[in-house]
Amino acid sequence: MTSPRSSDEDRFSKAAGAGNAATRGVILIVVAVVIGIVVIVSGLDREDVIDDGDEASDTTTTEASSETTTTTTESTTTTEVPTDTTPPEDVKIVVANASGGVAGLAGTTKDQILVPAGYAAENIETVDASPVSTTTIFYTEGNEANAAALATLMSVPGAQVQPMPDPPPVEIGEADILIMLGPDSGTTQSDGTQGTTDPGGTGGSQSTTTTPEGPGTAID
């Protein structure tokens, strides 16, 4: 037969066991909550670090891109000079006698320099013009190389090869090139003497006066 004391001890043991289980449950819940908070805070800190790293990377990339662009811009500032020339026979030229005193200079230049070099006589017009100080070769758009070739032929300095002004010094019609002959331009005869052609420089028949180099009488 069980004594009353033993029964009370059993009830006390059961109650103590239930209390311990409840306490352990509460402790586990608290621990889980703490761990969860720690994990969340660690995750946020890691995202901040990643964001800072991304911003630093973006800044570095932008600076590098800016430097690259600047270098490229500086290296592409060269200007190419056209080198393609038109066949001489297709170049249309106006030769203007602007020497202010050398009669027939335009016609002489046409007949003794341009035509022998392959330029077509029918594409060369000779006119008179107001005097200029130096010979200048003007070119229209797309004819810079043709003007340079003429300058070489006539021994005209490169600085005196220029774009056609607007308006041109004389009427040029559909010409590609305008040669303004100044007093620094002369035509030498084959015998080494200086000659002149018909006044007005029309390039027609020539009446040449020749002065011998040595002493003697001028030949009319």
How far is CA 195 from its chain centroid? Answer: 46
Name residue, tokens 């341009």.
114
Q: Residue 35: its pLDDT value, please?
A: 87
Tokens linked to 39: 């994990």
* Exposed e or buried b per residue across 175-211, where buried means at least 16 C-beta atoms within 10 angstroms of its C-beta: bbbbbbbbbebebeeeeeeebbbbeebbbeeeeeeee
Question: pLDDT per position in the chain (220 positions), as tens?
Answer: 555 556 666 666 666 666 677 787 888 888 888 888 887 877 766 666 556 656 655 655 555 555 555 444 454 444 455 568 899 999 999 999 999 989 999 999 999 999 999 999 999 999 999 999 999 999 999 999 999 999 999 999 999 999 999 999 999 999 999 999 999 986 543 333 344 333 333 333 333 333 334 433 333 3
User: What's the predicted TM-score (pTM) here?
Assistant: 0.51
Which pLDDT score is estimated for 14? 64
CB-based contacts of 210, cutoff 8 Å, min separation 6: 189, 191, 193, 195, 218, 219
Helix (H, G, I), strand (E, B), or coil: what is residue 187? Answer: coil
Q: How far apart are CA 47 and CA 45, in angstroms?
A: 5
Q: Of 219, 1, 204, which Cα lies nearest the Cα of 104?
A: 204
Query: Could you give the CA distance from residue 23 to residue 211 in angstroms, rounded to a whole number?
Result: 137
